[in-house]
Structure 1
Amino acid sequence: MAGGIAIKLARFAIVVAIFALWEVLSRTGIVNPRLLPAASDTLVTLGELLQRASVRHDLVVTGQEVLAAFALGVPFGALIGYLIAEHRYFADVMKPLLFFAFSIPKSIFLPMFILVFGVGFAQKVGFGFFSTIFIVIMSTTTAVESVKVEHLRVARSYGATPMQTAFRVYLPSMLPVLLEALRISMIFNLTGVILAEMYASRDGIGHQIAIWGENFQMKQLLAGVVMIAAIAMTFNELVRWVETRCSHWRT
């Protein structure tokens, strides 16, 4: 318990130090305040932005797109990863292709999504899904391969069906690894959706950030960055909390 509190305090101290350094660099003129507004001014701007109905609407739109892409990408990617790990021939065929696809920057495919889906909800969800699924597939494959063979042997010797084996052996053994993968995949997902909104969109917080950047509204731009960072950190800590509750499944 004491160790966990110390870690949380250390994280909080690092965040405070970053904001303090940011404030000092801007206030002292070491960095041009027009390029890097003070942290306090940025936080005040963030509070003002959150009071705007248009910004709250854009946050809701982005949240819906992120959740939709995540809800589609995680189970679909997990199923493919499970099939790859369980079938040797399928794994030999698919693994090199997956590593090849994963190594390609996903942003170069964004124009294709715009051409196929147009500019709208489907385009952003589709690109978020595309940005997420490869990391989920690879993480699931690794998680399945990490399940102990003796556990599977015992389950099958007692006549467990494939469905029972999946839910009573694979899932408990894989869950801690999968939860770690969820945190990483959400980063890819959120990045993909924000990028799609910045590239071609009529709404969403990424669209707003792009407008602020184009108009050199640095306070609003940095406030948007802080907003996205806070959302990502909140989800990360939520999954971390769930992960600690599942730590007893580690074998």
Structure 2
Amino acid sequence: MTNTLARIAIVLALFALWEVLSRMGIVNPRLLPSASDTLATLCDLLRRASVRNDLLVTATEVLAAFALAVPVGALIGFLVAENRYFADVTKPLLFFAFSIPKSIFLPMFILVFGVGFSQKVGFGFFSTIFIVIMSTTTAVESIKVEYLTVARSYGATAIQTAWRVYLPSMLPVLLEALRISMIFNLTGVILAEMYASRDGIGHQIATWGENFQMKQLLAGVVMIAVIAIAFNEMIRWVETRCSHWRT
């Protein structure tokens, strides 16, 4: 409870500083509209059917990319961690691929998938899968060998070992990875919408920025931030519920 209140206090302080800087003219109000004006603009935008439709489009793309990237990445990460030879071969390649800015591949996705739903989901998937693979690999490698030895010595089947040993040991690390991977996923989809799209909240934000509509632009940024924080806190809540599985 204390941590939550501290976070809320920090956010309120930042908004207060934002308001003061703009209202007192320390920062040009045309460049940085006040926090109150931005929040009023946000409320106005949310009343528009077009903006709500764009939010729904973005949410659908983000969830689709996330639903594909997490199981595929987790499976690949598990295979990498369980096979030493495979791990020695692929780990350097994974770190290399992870270090490359994903935005440089966006034109390729447009050429392959065109401008539409598949392109944005595909790029979101591509932006997310590497962090899921690496996190899953780390989670599997963190399992104590003694646990597996005891389970197998008692004749546990593969399914029982996965359910009773792997999952409880990996879950706390995986939940932390989900929070991080959603950031990559959301960023990838928004970037794809800003680069080439006919709908989605990223497309709207790009349009507001190109037309120097700073109130709408900042309102869109606040909107995305609230969505990201809400998901982060939801995963954090699940993580606390599973804290007894930490070893």
Structure 2: how far apart are the matches of 1:112 and 1:158? Answer: 51
1:209 equivalenced with 2:205 (yes/no): yes
Distance 2:134 2:159 in 1: 22
Residue 54 of structure 2 corresponds to residue 66 of structure 1: no
- What is the CA deviation profile of residues 58-84 of structure 1, one whole-angstrom value per residue up to 9, with x for unaligned ones? 000000000000000001000000000
- 1:99 matched to 2:77: no
Structure 1 counterpart of 2:217? 221
Partner of 2:232: 236
Quote the Cα distance in structure 2 between the aligned partners of 1:153 and 1:43.
57
Compute the displacement of 1:180 (Å): 0.3
Say which of 134, 141, 145 aligns to 1:138.
Answer: 134
Equivalent residue number for residue 75 of structure 2: 79
Tell me how far apart the structure 1 counterparts of residues 108 and 159 of structure 2 sit (CA, whole Å).
38
User: Superposition pairs for residues 73-222 of structure 1, below 5 Å?
Assistant: 73-222=69-218
Question: Could you report, residue by residue, the CA deviation over 1:98-126 in whole angstroms, capped at 9, with x for unpaired residues?
Answer: 00000000000000000000000000000
Q: How many residues align?
A: 247
Partner in structure 1 of residue 3 of structure 2: 7
Supply the RMSD in Å over aligned alpha carbons. Answer: 0.5
Aligned partner of 1:246 among 239, 242, 245: 242
* Secondary structure of the corresponding residue to residue 130 of structure 2: helix
1:214 aligned partner, one-letter code: E
Identity of aligned residues (%): 85
- Stretches of structure 2 that go unaligned for 5 or more consecutive residues are none
Amino acid at match of 1:233: I
The Cα of 1:160 is off from its aligned counterpart by 1.8
TM-score scaled to structure 1, two decimals?
Answer: 0.98
Give me the whole-angstrom Cα distance separating, in 2, the residues matched to 1:212 and 1:116: 28
How far apart are residue 163 of structure 1 and its match? Answer: 2.5
Partner of 1:50: 46
- Once residues 153 and 161 of structure 1 are traced to their aligned partners in structure 2, the CA distance between those partners, rounded to angstroms, is 12
Which consecutive unaligned segments of at least 5 residues does structure 1 have?
none
Supply the distance in 2 between the matched residues of 1:189 and 1:163 (Cα, whole angstroms): 30
